[in-house]
């Protein structure tokens, strides 16, 4: 039986970042991955979609830039080359993770790990023990039992859609979350007729509803069916009901994108006394489970299914394993300051609470929404043909900012600053004193804080 | 004689933002502009260059995206349409400023203003008085007396180059600052053979020299001549000396881009007792001049020639005019937290002090530089074919971050967050706890703070 300081079950973002931090901290680490290092994000999630979205953006630029003075004839795309670039991207980054593990002397074992006790894990017929175990088994696409969906070759999950041989003429997407909207953005711009069927009244539930509604108007090639409950799938046709009326969407391919479920089965959670449910493993804000020295990070906790949330969870678990006083240094999860990003066209990003969420929690807030046409760079790159928006939510009394959302170009790259603003509890007045570079789209955030109602009538800005 | 609360001399970024804030504060404001509202930035500076750079980017995407699966034949550009888009951008934004002035009831007068006393200004033969006067007369391109440059039709400044009828086959640029590098980026990508002649040993003096050197390698189509002193211009040929050897650059057009000089003459500075020099009007950190109730903001102060620095100066002058206690609310210029941005390809941006500047000031610092290939999005969009870098400088003892610079895509949009980091005096450890969205290029900043040497050997991250 090999002994380690830490065994990590799962080599996705939560697992590999914990391995990185622990390796750097000179711990002996065993990282067990049943498939490919990098997990969902790197292999079949954020990274390959970003590669596809980049190709689609370039194709669109080649095709639609005549008003900017670019002259092209017969702009088209070659799907095989698009796929090749995507695969090369994934291979490069998986290789990078493997190299890093090697450099930090992390032992990586390829195989299915099974926890045989809170401190022992069996893999490939061998048992290993450790002082601490971090569970980072991730999640799988949820496949709800819709009649006609099981074993239907026309129904695919996001993993399969990433690698299809050809672009479908018609694509029906069940679910208007990040995955659904990003794939809609990819395929609609490549010429597919895309329909999104969403059960709720609006897409992207974490987004301010006014921004989400506006985002839909910026994707005119996509047919959105909201408040639509899928009743059955018949071959390549989706049958849904809306206000007690039944309707059908003919298509060629159907993407099931209704979310992901934590992977809590099949690796021993049920036999070691772990507190978990289908919604995930129960953890505290230091990523401790109910079992001493057993930690859980990433999608499997069900708390956030974002790769960078997994990073942070992995870092926090590592920090506490490395140092018993980590909590005093602020090493706890602050769930309300994790940004999100959407890479559709237009892009969007946000951090903090929505106006609605604040109201639910009984926090009295003001909110301001401004259009991005106030940004000189936005106008220089889009004119008045596109819409973008920034919304800022702040407490009425203290003026502390509780939420910032941006719908428009570069949003994902500018939102880390907003996470900083929330972490440090900046007020409206604090952000007004920040200097934003000109001309940038990020100045939209500045415009939004300036558009905020003044504190008192007689107190000037 | 019409009386106002405030008269503003100059309708560029410093002037019009002061008018906006004062108008919002219900002051009666007279804004005098001799040319077009929006000043250098909007009419002949940042905005038109951004429109051109956007067209060039789209042209490059149309031409060079085959590895990403985009197939185009005969991608070319139509310079007249490029110019048309640029002009439309400027017109739209100038119109926006005019509308805003109208909405806020700011009186705008078109004409050359002359200060006849510290509280009176004459324009178009009429005299106006005010309780406060803000001087925001801006700057002009510097034209050093190089033999052969005066009245040479082949020597242009940036204003003229913006509107040339056709792209020159060969363009020689004297000066490797922001203006020179951005124009080099525009014309070299449109097919001009571009040479930059720079007197110093490196381009972009405000940039970390290792990043500037790397940026040059990312612009292989541009011929950089460093440490090169221009001796004369003979027709379309630039004669320069380097290490006591004389060389010549044949060309078709020569851009003089050696900087800009504050416009301190011609409007009465010499007759009212104002403290100024050719380097600018002397101001304190509240933008007060030596004369009571006379303020100066923007380029004319010579303190910073960036539009967003002018914005901030205009805001600060306005804040103090509106409220005598503004200083207590932090309304002072903090020169070290003004970001800069460069929109060449690649882009770059930074804020704070360089490592060298810290050393000069006697601040003991550590610095870390990381490559952007650590970012998944960077790889997805560029592979390993391009280089990008992030450098972070922090005080050795306190770990407070003093400078952040990024050379790579999206840099200008992510740098406002770095300005916030510096304003709030975040430490390395504070930024390590921020959650950056994945996958973004902004994560390069996160990688740089993690690459920082640890505080003590036994204290873990």
Residues of A in contact with B446 (CB under 8 A): 416
Residue of chain B nearest A461, judged by CA positions = B319
**To the nearest 10°, the Cα dihedral for B324, B328, B330, B334?**
80
Instruction: Say which of B71, B435, B440 has its CB closest to residue A412.
Output: B440
| Residue B99: Cβ within 10 Å count | 10
Stretch 355-384 of chain A: residues touching chain B, C-beta under 8 Å: 373-374, 376-377, 379-381, 383-384
B316-336: average pLDDT: 95
A327-343: average pLDDT: 96
Burial class (CB in 10 A: 0-12, 13-18, 19+), A264: buried
> How high is the pLDDT of residue B455?
77
CA atoms within 13 A on the CB side of A85: 28
pTM of this structure: 0.96
Stretch 47-86 of chain B: residues touching chain A, C-beta under 8 Å: 47, 50-51, 54-55, 57-59, 61-62, 65-85
> How high is the pLDDT of residue B1?
66
Is residue A311 within 8 angstroms of chain B, CB to CB? Answer: yes
Look at residue A455 and tell me whether its pLDDT is greater than 90: no
| Start-to-end Cα distance in chain B | 67
Question: Across chain A, what does the average pLDDT equal?
Answer: 96
The DSSP element (H or E) to which B237 belongs, if any, is strand B237-242
Q: Which fold has domain B336-451?
A: Enolase-like; domain 1 (3.30.390)
> Which pLDDT tens digit goes with each residue over B349-388?
999 999 999 999 999 999 999 999 999 999 999 999 899 9
Look at residue A172 and tell me whether its pLDDT is greater than 60: yes
Q: Looking at this predicted complex, what is its ipTM?
A: 0.96
Strands B139-141 and B126-135: unpaired
A181: tokens are 């909207």
Q: pLDDT class for B263, splitting at 50, 70, 90?
A: very high
Answer yes or no: do A41 and B438 touch at CB < 8 A.
yes
Q: Which residues of A are known catalytic residues?
A: 438
Look at residue A327 and tell me whether its pLDDT is greater than 50: yes
B83-98: average pLDDT: 98
Strands A348-352 and B389-395: unpaired
Q: pLDDT class for A456, splitting at 50, 70, 90?
A: low
> How high is the pLDDT of residue A72?
95
Answer yes or no: do A71 and B65 touch at CB < 8 A.
no
What is the residue-wise DSSP string for B91-148? HHHHHHHHHHHHHTT-EEEES-EEEEETTEEEETTEEEEEEEEEE---EEE-----TT
Look at residue B458 and tell me whether its pLDDT is greater than 60: no
B54-68: average pLDDT: 97
Phi-psi region of B397 (alpha: psi -120 to 50; beta: other; left: phi over 0): alpha
A95-102: average pLDDT: 97
- Do the beta carbons of residue A74 and residue A88 sit within 8 Å? no
Q: Do domains B2-140+261-333 and B336-451 have the same CATH topology?
A: no
Look at residue B89 and tell me whether its pLDDT is greater than 80: yes
What's the rounded Cα separation, in Å, for the pair B318 and B6? 9
Look at residue B198 and tell me whether its pLDDT is greater than 80: yes
The residues spanned by each domain of chain A are 2-141+261-333, 155-258, 336-450
Could you say which of 3.30.70.920, 3.30.2350.10, 3.30.390.30, 1.10.287.990 is the CATH number of the domain covering A336-450? 3.30.390.30
Q: Which residues of B are known catalytic residues?
A: 438
Select from A365, A375, A345 the least CA-distant residue to A448: A375
Q: Which fold has domain A2-141+261-333?
A: FAD/NAD(P)-binding domain (3.50.50)
Look at residue B230 and tell me whether its pLDDT is greater than 70: yes
Instruction: Please tell me the least confidently modeled range out of A187-191, A324-328, B28-32, B335-339.
Output: A324-328
pLDDT > 70 in chain A, percent: 98
> Which pLDDT tens digit goes with each residue over A270-319?
999 999 999 999 999 999 999 999 999 999 999 999 999 999 999 999 99
> How high is the pLDDT of residue B391?
98
Look at residue A1 and tell me whether its pLDDT is greater than 70: no
Q: pLDDT class for B454, splitting at 50, 70, 90?
A: confident
Residues of A in contact with B338 (CB under 8 A): 435
Residue of chain B nearest A379, judged by CA positions = B89
B97-123: average pLDDT: 98
The DSSP element (H or E) to which A182 belongs, if any, is helix A178-189
Question: Across chain B, what does the average pLDDT equal?
Answer: 96
Task: Write down the architecture of domain A155-258 according to CATH.
Answer: 3-Layer(bba) Sandwich (3.50)
> Which pLDDT tens digit goes with each residue over B143-193?
999 999 999 999 999 999 999 999 999 999 999 999 999 999 999 999 999
Quick one: three-class SS letters along B18-59? HHHHHHHCCCCEEEEECCCCCHHHHHHCHHHHHHHHHHHHHH
> How high is the pLDDT of residue A454?
84
Q: Which fold has domain B2-140+261-333?
A: FAD/NAD(P)-binding domain (3.50.50)
> How high is the pLDDT of residue B456?
64
B396: tokens are 């050795």
CA distance, residue B273 to nearest chain A CA (Å)? 31
A205: tokens are 């539930």
B56-66: average pLDDT: 97
> How high is the pLDDT of residue A459?
47
């Amino acid at each position: 039986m090999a002994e380690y300081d830490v065994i990590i079950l799962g080599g996705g973002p939560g697992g590999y970042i914990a391995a990185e931090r622990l390796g750097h901290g000179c711990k002996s680490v065993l990282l067990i991955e049943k498939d490919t290092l990098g997990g969902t994000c790197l292999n079949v999630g954020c990274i390959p979609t970003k590669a596809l979205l980049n190709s689609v953006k370039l194709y669109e630029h080649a095709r639609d830039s005549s008003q900017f003075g670019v002259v092209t004839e017969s702009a088209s795309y070659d799907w095989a080359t698009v796929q090749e670039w995507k695969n090369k991207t994934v291979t490069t980054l998986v290789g990078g993770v493997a190299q890093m593990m090697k450099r930090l002397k992390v032992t990586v074992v390829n195989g299915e790990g099974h926890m045989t006790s809170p401190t022992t894990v069996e893999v490939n017929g061998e048992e290993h023990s450790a002082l601490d175990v971090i569970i980072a088994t991730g999640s799988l696409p949820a496949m709800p039992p819709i009649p006609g969906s099981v074993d239907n070759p026309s129904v695919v999950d996001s993993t399969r859609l990433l690698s299809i041989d050809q672009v479908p003429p018609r694509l029906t997407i069940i679910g208007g979350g990040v995955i659904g909207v990003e794939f809609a953005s990819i395929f609609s711009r490549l010429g597919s007729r895309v329909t999104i069927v969403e059960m709720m009244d609006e897409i992207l539930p974490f987004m301010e509803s006014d921004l989400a509604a506006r985002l839909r108007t910026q994707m005119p090639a996509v047919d959105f069916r909201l408040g639509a409950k899928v009743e059955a799938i018949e071959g390549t046709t989706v049958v849904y009901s809306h206000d007690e009326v039944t309707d059908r969407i003919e298509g060629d391919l159907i993407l099931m994108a209704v979310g992901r479920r934590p992977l809590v089965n099949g690796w021993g959670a049920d036999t070691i006394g772990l507190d978990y449910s289908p919604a995930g493993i129960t953890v505290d804000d230091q990523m401790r489970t109910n079992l001493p020295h057993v930690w859980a990070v990433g999608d499997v906790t069900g708390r956030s299914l974002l790769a960078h949330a997994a990073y942070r969870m992995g870092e926090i678990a590592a920090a506490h394993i490395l140092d018993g006083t980590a909590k005093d240094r602020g090493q706890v999860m602050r769930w309300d300051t994790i940004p999100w990003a959407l890479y559709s066209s237009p892009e969007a990003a946000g951090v903090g609470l929505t106006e609605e969420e604040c109201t639910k929690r009984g926090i009295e807030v003001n909110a301001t929404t401004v259009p991005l046409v106030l940004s000189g760079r936005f106008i220089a790159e889009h004119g008045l043909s596109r819409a973008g928006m920034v919304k800022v939510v702040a407490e009425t009394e203290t003026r502390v900012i509780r939420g910032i959302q941006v719908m428009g170009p570069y949003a994902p790259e500018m939102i880390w600053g907003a996470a900083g603003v929330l972490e440090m509890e900046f007020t409206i007045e604090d952000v007004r004193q920040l200097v934003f570079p000109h001309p940038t789209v990020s100045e939209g955030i500045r415009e939004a804080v300036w558009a905020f109602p003044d504190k008192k009538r007689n107190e000037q800005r």
